[in-house]
Amino acid sequence: MADEPINQMVNPDQERLPHPPEYHVMVLVVDDQAMVCEAVRRALANQTDIDFHYCADAREALAIANQIKPTVILQDLVMPGVDGLTLVKQFRSNPATKDTPIIVLSTNENPQVKGHAFALGANDYLVKLPDKIELIARIRYHSMAYLNLLQRDAAYRALRESQQQLIESNAALISLNQRLEEATLAKSQFLANMSHEIRTPMNGVVGMTGLLLDTELTDEQRDYVESTRTSADALLTIINDILDFSKIESGKLELDHHPFELHACIEEVMDLLASKAAEKNLDLAYLVDDAIPKILVSDVTRLRQILVNLIGNAVKFTNQGEVVIEVTSSGRTVRSIPFGHEHDTEFLRHPDEWLLHISVRDTGIGIPLDRQSRLFKSFQQVDASTTRHYGGTGLGLAICKRLAELLGGKIWVESDAGKGSTFHFTITARAPASSKPPAWQNPQPQLAGKRLLVIEDNATNRRIITQRGENWGMTVETAANGRDALALLAQGDLFDAVILDLELPDKDGLALAEEIRKQPAGRYAPLLLLSSRHPSGDGARPLPASVSVSIHKPIHPAQLLDAMCRALSVHVQREKKLPVAPTLDADLARRLPLRLLLADDNPINQKVGLTVLNKLGYHADIANNGLEVLKALERKAYDILFLDVQMPEMDGLEAARQICQRWPAGKRPCIIAMTGNALMGDREKCLKAGMDDYISKPVRIGDLQSALQRWGPVKTRKPDTAFVTRPKSTSADNLLDQSTIAELRKMPPSNGISMLQELVDLFLEAAPQRIAQISQSINDGPMLAFHAHALKSMGLNLGVKRVVQLSQKLEELGRARNVHGAPALLQELETAFTQTKAQLLTLRNQ
């Protein structure tokens, strides 16, 4: 028991306790005289904190001391068998007692012996028998000093130990950090590689479908190709999702705010998921509060991403019923103009800020309350069995949460297990102070007063159609099944139109259509069939003659209005749409002749690139890698080099660096990177390597065309045309002779085609060829005059004033064989033709 306190003192764990260990003393008396021992025992009898041990045989003293670990040793100097001073020496050289205080007991004061004892390591000297108080004081004093020493040593050892641990964990941390850095680097390299690997074949898919869409296709084929393109785009979205997640995680996601149409955004997403919903017989529907402006400014790609995820999940986890998207406004504020934005037109055009509340409600499996908190955490699904059944990465909602927050809102869920879920999110969006609503939000005089019967079991769709119909001025009655509908018709109520669902609970829609036709009240009413968009297309079930028009679910209000007007043979108020797809400028190569080199190791990408360039009128040479690029440049001068970044043998970055080293700026082609790496910083890398521009794969026709338009003029600008100032944008009056146009308009049409239309078509077909001939004979006076004259004559009939003026000038130069100023005039002519063409097309379609 006696050694316990001391042991506790040296325990480093104890050492870290806030309180010092209990003070406890152990005295070892080594003396052959029992009387001395008894005297000491008596002196210490009342001292409860002092333990006492007696050893009469000096030869055993060391072993006993090792065992009991005294805090102080009282030791006689004259003993049989062992000399007292030798014993002191032994204690000092014994590891367990080397620091234990030794008080030497002597029969008399002898300075010599004292000096000797101290020299050998004794700490004190007392003459027998000492005074009780003095003895206790000395025992306490020495014990205390010894215990302090032990304590200090233990503390020191513990300190050393923790210092050592600190050094070790620091070293471990440094190496972990190093590994982490390596892993992060490997991760982003991996992402870049994957992005490249996936985007390369995607480039083929997107490029080829783009080309296919530019060929003559039947409506059905066009539909298929468009679906392929939509799917390819969706796949790209997923790839971007994965990249996005890592970008969001590292705080590198950048938003891209642009004006967009909210309805179009929702409809696109719903169309993407419509076939999946149709496969499961789910009703898809959406409602947007009419107060919300048609055009908003936000990051539509990110909004679409959230919607695809939430609606996708809703369809995935719902086996029957419906998925309904609803957009309401949670608030609108007029923003005050921040300092420095007083002249910011983008800001002034969109001064209002809206907080949109978007909900996606389903009637699916629902989510238990206790699992809802996990939903928005990354890589977590509600439970493993759900994942096995439905698949998924568990990343979607985590991305949605971050995106909603980035868009200025938040996301949350309400759900009842077994009954369905509603995911809500908010975003802020800017909007013009007032904007024109879409045509279908306005009352429609041509439909006013017409009576409409809606036969649809889905309450949401009934509500949507009723609300729209009533807004247009129609009187709407509804029936949730075939039986009720027939009962209504049997009452003799006459309807101007009937909308009926193809899939009713009690009756097949087509069979019902036949029955309606048999009723006197329904004999002549146009029937509009509401059907889900099946993946196989509606061709699977041909429409019977009784059906006038079919409408696809999810119902798009614009399409509903269109169908209704067609069914009732009334005029449709259409909105003028801007052209969606960039039109190919087949004339570009002629106006902007360029020598092109395309470097890509992938044969499909080469094919896509070459074909697109061909469509623009160019013939490009091909290189398979960086080395081939350098060889090609040694052989021939090029104006523009389209350079893939990841290629075998020599990659694009290295190739760009070498080109810049070997050829001075004016003598080398303009280098445009084409890369599948879409990570931040890639653009900088390319530009740093000496490239001039960057387009990311999949390369779209429009991107390529605008790159050529951007860089082509830099390369083709010749000294003799340098004085030509940029053509000012020309108004219609300067381009066209309005009186000639007005006269042409008045002329009677032949075969249903107006004179104006016919002449426009003829001119637009023939003029480009003439301009090409003018360009070819630019140095040949007589030929130039001949072709310019032909163009002038053609233009006179149509009143294309500016084109006529310029061809006349060219004709005069040609005749005078003074072709010096001809190239500049030709450039003006080309610009004038492009502008005139746009004007003519507008006129023609009016």
Pairwise CA distance, residues 567 & 830, whole Å: 46
- The residues pairing with 643 across neighbouring beta strands, listed in sequence order, are 599, 673
Nearer to ligand ADP, 387 or 611 (CB): 387
**Shortest Å distance, C-beta 557 to ligand ADP:** 25
**Shortest Å distance, C-beta 561 to ligand ADP:** 31
**Shortest Å distance, C-beta 382 to ligand ADP:** 3
**Shortest Å distance, C-beta 393 to ligand ADP:** 5
**Shortest Å distance, C-beta 308 to ligand ADP:** 10
Nearer to ligand ADP, 307 or 397 (CB): 397
Pairwise CA distance, residues 631 & 626, whole Å: 9
Helix-helix angle 603-615:132-213, to 10 degrees:
50
Yes or no: say if 450 and 468 are a contact pair by the CB < 8 Å rule: no
**Shortest Å distance, C-beta 395 to ligand ADP:** 6
Nearer to ligand ADP, 310 or 486 (CB): 310
Nearer to ligand ADP, 327 or 764 (CB): 327
Nearer to ligand ADP, 312 or 409 (CB): 312
Nearer to ligand ADP, 27 or 269 (CB): 269
Nearer to ligand ADP, 99 or 414 (CB): 414
Among 501, 492, 544, 502, which Cα is nearest to 523's? 492
| DSSP for residue 519 | S
- Tokens for 309? 């995820």
Those residues whose C-beta lies under 8 Å from the C-beta of residue 420, and which sit 6 or more positions away, are: 318, 321, 361, 362, 363, 364, 366
For 799-824, give one letter per residue: b (16+ CB within 10 A) or e. bbbbbbbbbbbbbebbeeeebeebbb
Nearer to ligand ADP, 409 or 814 (CB): 409
Task: Label the pairing between strands 420-431 and 411-416.
Answer: antiparallel
**Shortest Å distance, C-beta 403 to ligand ADP:** 12
Among 108, 118, 134, which Cα is nearest to 44's? 134
Yes or no: say if 425 and 400 are a contact pair by the CB < 8 Å rule: yes
Q: In what helix (H) or strand (E) does residue 627 lie, and over which residues does it extend?
A: helix 626-635
- Tokens for 14? 């104890």
**Shortest Å distance, C-beta 369 to ligand ADP:** 13
Nearer to ligand ADP, 321 or 821 (CB): 321
**Shortest Å distance, C-beta 309 to ligand ADP:** 6
**Shortest Å distance, C-beta 834 to ligand ADP:** 48
Other beta carbons less than 10 A from residue 845's beta carbon = 9
Residue holding tokens 């909210």? 262
**Shortest Å distance, C-beta 381 to ligand ADP:** 4
Residue 556's identity, in one-letter code, is H
- Tokens for 73? 């040793």
Pairwise CA distance, residues 444 & 568, whole Å: 13
E-strand spans in 312-373? Answer: 322-334, 352-362
Nearer to ligand ADP, 388 or 576 (CB): 388
Among 381, 229, 405, 239, which Cα is nearest to 317's? 381
Residue 384's identity, in one-letter code, is A
**Shortest Å distance, C-beta 691 to ligand ADP:** 37
**Shortest Å distance, C-beta 275 to ligand ADP:** 19
Question: What is the SS3 assignment for 75?
Answer: strand
Other beta carbons less than 10 A from residue 345's beta carbon = 8
Nearer to ligand ADP, 355 or 395 (CB): 395
Pairwise CA distance, residues 136 & 50, whole Å: 9
Nearer to ligand ADP, 228 or 378 (CB): 378
**Shortest Å distance, C-beta 237 to ligand ADP:** 13
Select the residue whose beta carbon is closest to ligand ADP and give its number: 392
Among 360, 393, 131, which Cα is nearest to 266's? 360
Nearer to ligand ADP, 362 or 811 (CB): 362
Task: Label the pairing between strands 72-76 and 420-431.
Answer: unpaired
**Shortest Å distance, C-beta 376 to ligand ADP:** 8
- Tokens for 218? 């039947």
> Is-cis flag, bond preceding 554, omega within 30?
yes
| DSSP for residue 368 | -
Nearer to ligand ADP, 146 or 423 (CB): 423
- Tokens for 357? 């509340």
Pairwise CA distance, residues 422 & 413, whole Å: 6
Nearer to ligand ADP, 377 or 523 (CB): 377
Yes or no: say if 423 and 452 are a contact pair by the CB < 8 Å rule: no
Residue holding tokens 């892993």? 183
- The residues pairing with 72 across neighbouring beta strands, listed in sequence order, are 27
Residues contributing to the site for ligand ADP (CB under 6 A): 309, 313-314, 317, 362, 364-367, 375, 381-382, 386-387, 392-397, 421
